[in-house]
């Protein structure tokens, strides 16, 4: 394995998930490769110390951060985004989520089904 920017992106993804989960995401990362991720809900992955009542803006931010983290954890380094792309996504305007926060699954975030950029 050659150490390059794509390795740094993987590490970024791990640190982001660790921050949002409140613990190391090793178990989550290994389960994402299996079919068990299909039923895993985002709300169940988050650090339980976070407030369960979050507003739309915070929900959009959490979805964005987790979606980008998952993209950085792609098993194929060539499929990972660049840090420039990650930065651009953080700065982009967002449309409202297409479904309620509590109903978003990790599988949907992995497939970027909820991840919406405002086209205007």
Q: 82: which DSSP letter?
A: P
| Segments forming the whole domain that contains residue 61 | 5-39+53-110
Does 46 reside within a domain?
no
Does 99 reside within a domain?
yes
How does 21-52 read in b/e, with b if 16+ C-beta sit within 10 Å?
beeebeebbeebeeeebeebebbebbeeeeee
Q: 41: which DSSP letter?
A: B
pLDDT in tens, 71-95: 999 888 888 999 999 999 999 887 8
Q: What per-residue confidence (pLDDT) applies to 1?
A: 57
Number of domains in the chain: 1
Does 120 reside within a domain?
no
Please report the DSSP string for 13-26 in residue order.
HHHHHHHHHTS--H
Does 74 reside within a domain?
yes
Does 82 reside within a domain?
yes
Does 67 reside within a domain?
yes
8 A C-beta contact, residue 41 and residue 106: yes
Model confidence at 53, pLDDT cuts 50, 70, 90, reads confident
Does 87 reside within a domain?
yes
């Amino acid at each position: 394995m050659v150490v390059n920017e794509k390795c740094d992106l993987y590490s970024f993804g791990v640190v982001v998930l660790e921050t949002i989960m409140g613990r190391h995401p090793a178990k989550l990362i290994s389960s994402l490769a299996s079919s068990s991720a299909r039923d895993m809900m985002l709300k169940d992955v988050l650090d339980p110390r976070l407030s369960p009542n979050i507003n739309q803006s915070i929900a959009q931010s959490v979805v964005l951060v987790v979606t980008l983290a998952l993209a950085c954890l792609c098993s194929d380094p060539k499929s990972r985004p660049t840090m420039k792309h990650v930065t651009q996504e953080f700065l982009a305007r967002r449309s409202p989520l297409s479904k309620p926060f509590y109903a978003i699954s990790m599988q949907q975030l992995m497939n970027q089904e909820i991840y919406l950029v405002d086209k205007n």
